[in-house]
Every structure is written in structure tokens, then in C-alpha cells.
Structure 1
Amino acid sequence: MTTQPDEIKVEVKNLTKYFGNLHVLDDISFNIKKGEFVCVVGPTGCGKTTFLNLLTRIYSPTRGDLFIDGESADPKKHNLAFVFQEPSAFPWLTVEKNLRFGLEIKKLPKDVIDERTEMIIKMLGLQELRNSYPHQLSVSSEQRIIIGRAFAMNPDLLLMDEPYGQMDVKLRFFLEDEVIRLWQELGTTVVFITHNIEEAVYMAQRILILSTKPTTIKEEVIVDLPRPRRFDDPKFVAIRNAVTEKIKWW
């Protein structure tokens, strides 16, 4: 993965959200470098999903803004791809057609669509499943479609909202490694929302710890560990414990 280490891809500036009188997010500001992998953690009910929905422009902020490459984020201009916890493969489309779908909506040239689709199919080992439908696949294979479809868009910002929350440990570990491999090879900028602190330490370059509502960023934690990471590495355990302490006492 080749990126410019100091190049700012995303700037979140004074992001604030009210729903009526409910103050959910309070003046959140941070930057994300191009190609950076950032995880967001926080206590239950702190507004993590609201935070993501503001980044995707599903909601509009009460105050503040999100900038991509110095411009206010606009889904019509920027590729804001996302992966949610619930299965979202189109059941009437094959694996290959699911992967092509977003690219065709964007009206990219056919040769670009063909090239990107083939790249993702090979990277995720879906060659033998390309003509299968989602209901014919295992849970992990179906989620690989969703992940691949998002990465195929070559997004300016990829947002992932607890995409493995309903899976068992073995499947989660497998898909975490798949995402890390795709991220390293494609250089995508990723914001990954999770309630699983161990998952955050395993995947992230940087962790943003959110407070309770009205939510602010309580702390940023740099995860400067080599990959592949080991759960029994004393440094891994120390970071996991430090992040846990920041959350459980709220």
C-alpha cells in the first residue's frame, strides 16, 4: 500500500448533531490521512451509528461539516461506500453482478467495470462462486460479496458499521483478515465502527474513543504494532486494556 503519510483525505470539523432537544454529538473534529484505517469505539448508546450516518450523509449535521479532499462531502461527487452489519447482497443478482452493481450505477466504462470486478473476485477467492446467488452461499461468503462490492467502488471513504457483530469468532477472524488484506493492497481510507475493543486493536492504525452523550472524542490511541498482529503479544494486550479502561468507567 503506497500513500503519502501526511496527506489529509478526510477532515471532520465541529461535527454536531441534535435530534430535537436530544444532543447526540458535540463538536467532534478530527482528520484522517489518505489510506488510513481508523476504528471508532465507545460505550453502548453513545451515538456510534449516528456518527457513521452523518459521515455517509444519511443525516445532515446540525453544525459542522465533513470534507473530502478539501471539499464538503457530497455523495453525488464522492464515493462514500459503506458496509453494515445486516446482510445486504442483492438476492436476485449473482456474486459477479452484485460486485458490478455499484460500478454500473456510476456508469463507469465497461472495461473499468470488468477489470475491477475480476480483481475483487480473484482477491477474495470467489472465482468458483461468481455465478452463484447469495442464498446459495455461506454467511462468510455472502459478507465477502458486500465487502468486495464496497472496495470495488474505490471509495474516497469506506465506512463499516460493526459488519461482523452477528458472526461467530472463527468467521469474524477470517473476515477481519480479508478486510485488512484488501485495505493494504488497495490503499482505501477506512472508518470502522465496532463495540469489540480487541477487534479495534487488531485492525486499526488509530482508535478514536467516544464518550457518552453528548458525544465527543475522549481520546485517540495510536496502534503502532506490526502485522500480522498477535492477540497474545504483550503490547497488544496493553493497548487493549488501556482502551477498555477508558470505556468501562463512564
Structure 2
Amino acid sequence: MSEATIEKAVQDDRPVKVEVSHLTKYFGTLHVLDDVSFNIKKGEFVCVVGPTGCGKTTFLNLLTKIYEPSEGTLKIDGELADPKKHNLAFVFQEPSSFPWLTVEENLKFGLKIKKLPREVIDARVERIIKLLGLEEFRHDYPSSLSTSTEQRVIIGRAFAMEPDLLLMDEPYGQMDIKLRFYLEDEVLRLWREIGTTVVFITHNIEEAVYLSEKVLILSNKPAKIKEELVNNLPYPRDITCKEFIDMRKHITDMIKWW
């Protein structure tokens, strides 16, 4: 594969946003995650892939602090990660909009919980509505929306928080390929505009190559990082180009044999 496409290290002047050091997790005697260490730069888009059942969601739950690690540390901006101190946002596979709130109210919900000034809330939500083309839906309730539009609202709500770290777990898992590509492009648009640091869990290797600046490949349990690949393909990406196909094949082979 081309060194311009995949590298184990590149010069990147962005500051480190997230530091994961020797992260290990046991559930009783079950060893799920083993001595995982990596850094994420500010504004970086990182995808995590691995074999089915390797512990990708457990890995994400450790980053969200839903689970505490058995060993190791997670730091954001040099401080131990703390949901009370750091602004973490999540997007999961299952719809998580609030059915009793309109689209606009859903987008404002987390910002109101944070007790941000009204003018800040209004400005952020207007920006998200325009970026996602949700103007005609702002007063609608989730029950009247298509699946893809509802997921756009959920994604927009997360980005509106301008989080320190946005964690996404298979957010398009139940959607057909056309909707997946559409929403992938929406996420990339928001990421570029807002500059959010993103960790994106997926079983879809093509999706990982399409979205990421870096791919972390996990092994079977107990999961380790087998390889950390930098993706230098220019945006917007062409899934039919040789470099894209080569990277997809490389990751597939890594997962297949580990």
C-alpha cells in the first residue's frame, strides 16, 4: 500500500485532546480489553473497527465513563476524564430523540441542561438547522419524521453541544446503503464546520475508510490495538479509487486473520 495512504505516524501539529494509557477491562474473570494506549488530536476523526464481539462497544463505554477501567487512565486536555467536568456527547444506533419535543426543542435540549445563555443556544441551533437542512422540520415531532431525518436531528443535537469528545456507536447500523452514505456526508459536513473530536465505532470497513483520519484496528478478545492507521486520502473520498480499495482490503485482511 502507498505510504501516502497509510502510515503509522505522521506529522500533525494539532494538540493532543484525548490520551488513553494502558486501558484494561475485566468483567469478573472475563478479560475484554488489554493494555490499550493511543492519543487523539484535537478535531481528529477516529474510527474503531475489529472482529464481531471483540469489545468495541465496551471500549466506547470506557471512553464515556459508563464503565470504569480495571487499569489505566483516560485524560481529556491533560486531566482525568470526568463527565461532570468535560463535555461528552453520544450518538448510538437506536433512536434517542425525545418524542414529546419538536426538532428545534430536541436540538436545544442539551444546551439548556448546560444552562448556556439563550443567545448562545439560539445561535448554535440555527447553525445546525441550516447545516443539516432541517428548516422545514423545526416544528415537527419525531413521530412524523423519516428514520434518516430523525437520526440527523440526533446527530445535530450532539454536534450542537460542541463537545470535548463525540462518541458514536454504529449510528447507521439499521439503515440501507443509500441512507448511510447520505448521513456519512452529513456527519463529515458537521465535523469540518464545527471541528469536533470524534470517535466512531463501526463494523463497516468501507465506512471507516470513508470517514476517518485515523483507524484503530482491534484484535479479538482480550482486545488490543493491532494497528493504528493514518488515512491521508483527500476529502471528499471516492470509494472506487485504488487507494481507497487498497486501504479497505488491508483493514479487512487484518481483521480476518486476527
| CA offset digits 1:39-61 (Å, max 9, x no partner) | 00000000000000010011111
Question: Structure 2 stretches of 5 or more lacking a match?
Answer: 1-11
> Percentage identity across aligned positions?
72
2 CA distance for matches of 1:109 and 1:71?
26
SS where residue 66 of structure 1 aligns? strand
Q: TM-score, with normalisation over the residues of structure 1?
A: 0.98
2 CA distance for matches of 1:15 and 1:110?
39
Match of 2:58 in 1: 50
- Which of residues 168, 171, 174 is equivalent to 2:176? 168
| CA offset digits 1:40-91 (Å, max 9, x no partner) | 0000000000000010011111111110000001111111101000000001
Match of 1:67 in 2: 75
2 CA distance for matches of 1:41 and 1:230?
20
Match of 2:236 in 1: 228
Equivalent residue letter for 1:242: H
Matched, 1:77 2:85: yes
Matches within 5 A, 1:7-22: 7-22=15-30
Quote the RMSD (CA, aligned, Å).
0.8
Match of 2:222 in 1: 214
Match of 2:7 in 1: none
1 CA distance for matches of 2:64 and 2:164?
11
Matched, 1:91 2:99: yes
Q: CA deviation at 1:31?
A: 0.1
Q: CA deviation at 1:6?
A: 3.2
2 CA distance for matches of 1:38 and 1:144?
20
Q: CA deviation at 1:5?
A: 2.8
2 CA distance for matches of 1:81 and 1:104?
14
Match of 1:118 in 2: 126
| Number of aligned positions between the proteins | 247
Matched, 1:202 2:210: yes
1 CA distance for matches of 2:53 and 2:46?
20
Question: Structure 1 stretches of 5 or more lacking a match?
Answer: none
Matches within 5 A, 1:177-188: 177-188=185-196
Equivalent residue letter for 1:175: L
2 CA distance for matches of 1:57 and 1:146?
21
2 CA distance for matches of 1:215 and 1:231?
28
Matched, 1:242 2:250: yes
SS where residue 143 of structure 1 aligns? helix
Q: Does the Cα contact within 8 Å between 1:5 and 1:34 map onto a contact in 2? A: no
2 CA distance for matches of 1:231 and 1:125?
25
SS where residue 230 of structure 1 aligns? coil
1 CA distance for matches of 2:88 and 2:27?
23
Matched, 1:25 2:29: no
Matched, 1:193 2:201: yes
